[in-house]
Amino acid sequence: MTSAAPISALTRGRAVSEQVMPGLEAALAAKYDQYLPGFSEWQIATVYGGPYDRDGVDFKTRQIATVAALAALGQQTRPQLKIHVRAALDAGWTPREVAEVIMQMALYGGFPAAINALNAAIEVFEEAEDV
């Protein structure tokens, strides 16, 4: 009778993603579903109905953790890093805080990864200022 958890994975994923990145599922569907039926639903359920919808650690912490990881993984995650820098700002982190965490990643992912991530983050900071 209770709605089993996995149902709410997609439903809750949609709720989370609509709040954090309005229009994401539609954009994913338009781009990928012709090649990969159901991909957009799977990603929404897995990512936004997964860790980002879980209790156990607050949402704001999750956003800075993602920024840290993407910065350390290097330039190859640039588009996703920019999305999550924006999400970190939306979650209440200041540009300074985001930049501090990225700088710290020089110790773990190396200076090139950190510098390239700072460059990506600054683009987001400056877009945010333009608004």
Binding site for its own copies (CB under 8 A): 4-11, 31-32, 35-39, 41-43, 45-47, 49-52, 54, 56-57, 61-62, 64-80, 95-97, 99-101, 103-113, 115-116, 118, 121-122, 125
Sequence length of the chain is: 131
Nearer to its own copies, 1 or 131 (CB): 1
- Paired tokens of 112: 């090139």
Q: CA angle at residue 82 from 15 to 90, to 5 degrees?
A: 50
Please state, in angstroms and rounded to a whole number, the distance separating the CA atoms of residues 70 and 51.
16
Could you tell me which of 7, 24, 9, 16 has the C-alpha nearest to residue 80? Answer: 24
- Supply the minimum distance, in Å, between the C-beta of residue 22 and its own copies: 18
- Supply the minimum distance, in Å, between the C-beta of residue 123 and its own copies: 12
Nearer to its own copies, 26 or 36 (CB): 36
- Supply the minimum distance, in Å, between the C-beta of residue 52 and its own copies: 8
Nearer to its own copies, 19 or 46 (CB): 46
Q: What is the DSSP string of 31-53?
A: HHTTTSTTHHHHHIIIIITTGGG
